[in-house]
Amino acid sequence: MSDWIYAVILGIVEGVTEFIPVSSTGHLLLTKTLLGLPDGFWDTFTVLIQLGAILAVVALYFGKLWKVLIGLPTSAEARAFAISVLIAFIPGAIAGLALHDVIKTVLFESPRLICWSLIIGGVVLLALDRWSPAPRESDAMTLTWKTSLVVGLFQTLALIPGVSRSGATIVGSMLMRVEKRAAAEFSFFLAIPTMAGAFAVDLYKNKDALSMDQAGVIAVGFAVSFVVGFVVVRTLVDFVGRHGFAPFAWWRIVVGVGGLVALGVVGR
């Protein structure tokens, strides 16, 4: 297959998995392994195309986000929301900058770790979906700063491929008694600075390794992840409201076990 087809496949995987608690990074790296793609450019590619999916959130929530932006000078509610997202963003930003090289050179190279992370995370989601504390907060725009800090600390767990950024933040939110739909929405909002930052860091660190010949392939993956991510975000909150997170938990477990089988681990 050509690089263009690989870009479309990885763009679809990114768009589908970025906002559901199944680990987009884990799925992208497992897909890259199954396709037999080499390390280097394709590892960077999987990070860069995530910005396409993040822009889908900006597009869908543009009205709310614009209202917050223009309200910052005059609205206490707007400032409180902006600060809550900033508080949740900071722990992951610090850990990501400090551990970037370890993550890319060690953790990204361990498909088995990804599979086990998927399975363990699935079990955690199943348990929390069934026995989560009764919610006290139901609006993603008005979470307390304490809740935001806990969510941010949970997000640092997503530096381990397979854990899932959205899954970690949703688990943290629900443990802090945030309603499921609000937990999913806050995860969307937090994704904007988090993934934009990851994009900027990875682009800077790999600028010398990228060439204009690769720009077209990256653009295709970026565009596909945006379109697919737009559809997923538009439908996810209602889906979670009706079905909870159990379907995603089972998805994680099935993919994790299937990945271990494919890697020749199970049964040894």
The pLDDT tens digits for 29-88 are 888 888 888 877 787 788 788 888 889 999 999 999 999 999 999 999 999 999 999 999
In this predicted structure, the answer to whether residue 260 has a pLDDT above a threshold of 90 is no
Tokens for 16?
A: 């589908």
Measured in residues, the chain has a length of 268
Task: Calculate helix-pair angle for 215-243, 41-48, nearest 10 degrees.
Answer: 50
**Residue 238 predicted with pLDDT over 60:** yes
Kindly tell me if the per-residue pLDDT of 211 is higher than 80. no
Instruction: Tell me how far apart the alpha carbons of residues 13 and 10 are, in angstroms, rounded to a whole number.
Output: 5
Rg (Cα) of the chain, in Å, rounded?
Answer: 18
| Mean per-residue pLDDT of the chain | 87
pLDDT value, residue 27: 87
Confidence band, pLDDT 50/70/90 cuts, at residue 109: low
Q: What is the 3-state secondary structure of 61-115?
A: CHHHHHHHHHHCCCCHHHHHHHHHHHHHHHHHHHHHHHHHHHHHHCHHHCHHHHH
Residue 135: CB atoms within 10 A of its CB come to: 16
- At 10 the pLDDT is 94
What CA–CA distance (Å, rounded) separates 243 from 2?
A: 38
- pLDDT for 199: 81
Indicate whether 267 pLDDT > 50. no
**In contact, 229 and 19? CB cutoff 8 Å:** yes
pLDDT (0 to 100) of residue 60: 92
Beta bridge partners of residue 137, listed in sequence order: 178
For the segment 127-132, the average pLDDT, to the nearest whole number, is 86
**Under 8 Å CB-to-CB from 135, ≥6 apart: which residues?**
174, 177, 178, 179, 180, 182
* Mean pLDDT across 115-132: 90
Helix (H) or strand (E) holding 180: helix 180-205
Q: Report pLDDT for 266.
A: 47
Measured distance CA(182)–CA(149) in Å, rounded:
16
pLDDT at 14: 92
